[in-house]
Structure 1
């Protein structure tokens, strides 16, 4: 799964739209992926590193993890589960993303918000939305 989030000034991306028109996108991949080569020149270090932890029982994520894989989403608002654009079935919750502790490197989910990744495995579709 690859997740992309528009980080431009608020309002310049339609980041609330979880499908093609929005600034957020998620892509599901099957098979093996090959990591990209590290560039020879330029900045190659991340400003911060965060982690997701598996959450099979739906309980709270470990304190140091900034999200969870599987389980149930800890929604901040009502259920906004997207429907697959290919088959129209409700998509399956896959991961929850937290903003992060350092404002200079954190994802921008509206100030204290959370990102939610969904997938439709039969169709190979994925979606990212957030709530605050």
Structure 2
């Protein structure tokens, strides 16, 4: 049982094509900054740039009036996930008004955690959650006693942690089931944090339609 954790790795250039939270989005020519369709109508805040196997995921979430716009809902219009091809991406012009950027850009490195299912309690009523176990056990070195869970910014691939089936999003284009792409955690400090309302974020994509979705638990 493997989980690919995303680990905080210091700062990164704001326009770098590396896994990161914050900074400015990279997008194809002609891309227009997404706006909130839920309540406020303002520009969404750019959360994360996540290179994946067949492109780049850009995650946007409304932060203009936290709690007013339903950014936790995949269909409310207060968030956006874009799946771009890697070719021809360039930094996007940032709107002059609204809450658009995080205060800091945080680099991400990946770390694969392999868990032995045999060490878990076979009599547990609920099957062990791979992401939860990997995050709770994260340490910089085997000699350390205490974990450093705040360094974990989420994970790539795998399955959505403890998300009920009735909340799994469907593709707005083909209405098919969407593929889970990533977890997102708020971050290690107020300066670097993505405001998720203290919840875990989930990113989904439909590769065939190049559509994305975001929600929190």
Bin for the TM-score computed over the shorter chain: 0.7 to 0.9
Counterpart position of 1:51: 108
Equivalent residue runs for 1:56-75 within 5 Å: 58-59=130-131, 60-61=134-135, 62=138, 63=149, 64-75=151-162
Count of paired positions: 123
Counterpart position of 2:174: 87
Query: Relative to total residues, which structure has the larger strand share, 1 or 2?
Result: 2
Structure 2 length as normaliser, TM-score?
A: 0.48
Residue 18, structure 1, aligned to residue 104, structure 2: no
Alpha carbons of 1:82 and 1:120: their partners in 2 closer, same or farther (altered >3 Å)?
Answer: same
Deviations 1:21-55 (A, max 9, x none): 42111011124143428xxxxxxx95251526365
Where do 5+ consecutive residues of structure 2 fail to align? 1-56, 93-101, 115-129, 139-148
Instruction: State the superposition RMSD in angstroms.
Output: 2.9
Where do 5+ consecutive residues of structure 1 fail to align? 38-44
Query: Relative to total residues, which structure has the larger helix share, 1 or 2?
Result: 2
Deviations 1:47-72 (A, max 9, x none): 25152636596552455331111112
Q: Flag the structure with larger Rg.
A: 2
Residue 32, structure 1, aligned to residue 82, structure 2: no
